[in-house]
């Protein structure tokens, strides 16, 4: 069995009805202690349409586990703007063990993490923090290169890694590279929880896939995800799909 540091999450108390969170399908679908959302695999994907609450849910798990809401390790405490939701205040994270390592990657705020690393290296004496990220400033690499440098050099194993749309900066080839890095880290007793739209990443063998929709949260097989089915239909007949999309009313 793969190592799991989180095995379940649930709401210890209901989200107030007047909160915007109560309108999110993912939040409405979260159960209580008797009906938690389970994490049975070393890799779990949260997938679904925009607005279903994937990133909000992942953020809440991260903050409840002690990570900075904008990303980074538990040692990062910078804040450029407090925009995270209060969902973590209602969430209980069931733990089976505590990881030695961990990181919360948010594609939308990774620039701020890279900036904070450079600033700390400029102001704090001692070993350079960037050396644990490959030795080259993340700002001096392309977006995709910096993402992979983070996973390859900073993720050391025995870790809990929470990734929010890591495919945002990656080419299809680099997404396949990420799959290999993930496999190596899972072998080193790591757990991943990933919010994604990428059918390439979702193909990770043995992953648990939760599809979030207006109806709630359902565990689905890879080929039953909307992302796989729509992408397959498009690639099999792109001209036909474009014709349908561009058809005038």
Q: Is residue 209 in some structural domain?
A: yes
pLDDT(131) > 80: no
Residue 204 structural domain: 6-110+157-245
Q: Quick check: is 145 in a domain? A: no
User: How many structural domains are present in the chain?
Assistant: 1
Say which range, 35-49, 73-87, 139-153, 200-214, has the weakest mean pLDDT. Answer: 73-87
Residue 138 lies in a domain: no
* Residue 59 pLDDT exceeds 70: yes
Does the residue 128 lie in any domain? no
More confident residue, 27 or 180: 180
> Which segments within 49-196 are labelled E, that is strand?
91-95, 101-106, 159-164, 191-195
The predicted-structure confidence for 7-19, as pLDDT tens digits, reads as follows 999 999 888 888 8
Judge whether residue 230 has pLDDT over 90: yes
Q: What is the pLDDT of residue 77?
A: 61
Residue 136 resides in a domain: no
User: Which pair of tokens denotes residue 84?
Assistant: 């995270």
pLDDT in tens, 147-184: 888 888 889 999 999 999 999 888 999 999 999 999 99
CATH code: domain of residue 106: 3.40.50.300
| Look-up of token digits 């799909």 | 241
Q: Is residue 104 in some structural domain?
A: yes
Q: Can you give the pLDDT at residue 63?
A: 92
d(CA 47, CA 52): 9
Within 10 angstroms of residue 234's Cβ, the number of other Cβ atoms is 13
- pTM score of the predicted model: 0.88
Specify the pLDDT at position 24.
Answer: 85
Q: Could you tell me the strand order of the sheet in which 43-48 lies? A: 101-106, 159-164, 191-195, 43-48, 208-213, 216-220
What pLDDT sits at residue 36? Answer: 94
Q: What is the 3-state secondary structure (H, E, C) of 165-192?
A: CHHHHCCHHHHHHHHHHHHHHHHCCCEE
In a domain, 230, yes or no: yes
Q: Is 94:9 a contact under the CB 8 Å cutoff? A: yes
134 is a domain residue: no
| pLDDT at residue 74, rounded to an integer | 78
């Amino acid at each position: 069995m793969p190592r799991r540091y989180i095995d379940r999450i649930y709401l210890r108390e209901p989200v107030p009805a007047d909160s915007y969170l109560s309108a999110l399908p993912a939040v409405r679908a979260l159960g209580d202690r008797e009906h938690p959302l389970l994490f049975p695999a070393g890799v779990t994907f949260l997938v679904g349409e925009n607005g279903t609450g994937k990133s909000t849910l992942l953020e809440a798990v991260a903050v409840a586990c002690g990570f900075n809401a904008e990303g980074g390790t538990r040692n990062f405490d910078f804040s450029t703007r407090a925009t995270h939701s209060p969902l973590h205040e209602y969430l209980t994270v069931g733990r089976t063990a505590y990881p030695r390592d961990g990181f919360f990657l948010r594609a939308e705020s990774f620039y701020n993490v890279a900036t904070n690393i450079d600033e700390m290296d400029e102001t704090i004496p001692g070993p350079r923090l960037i050396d644990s990220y490959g030795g080259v400033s993340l700002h001096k690499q392309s977006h995709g290169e910096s993402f992979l440098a983070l996973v390859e050099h900073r993720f050391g194993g025995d870790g809990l890694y929470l990734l929010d749309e890591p495919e945002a900066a990656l080419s299809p080839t680099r997404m396949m590279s990420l799959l290999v890095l993930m496999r190596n880290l899972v072998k080193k007793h790591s757990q991943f929880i990933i919010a994604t739209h990428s059918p390439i990443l979702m193909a990770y063998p043995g992953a648990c896939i939760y599809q979030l929709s207006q109806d709630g949260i359902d565990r689905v097989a890879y080929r039953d995800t909307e992302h796989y089915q729509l992408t397959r239909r498009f690639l099999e007949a792109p001209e036909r799909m474009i014709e349908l999309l561009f058809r005038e009313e």
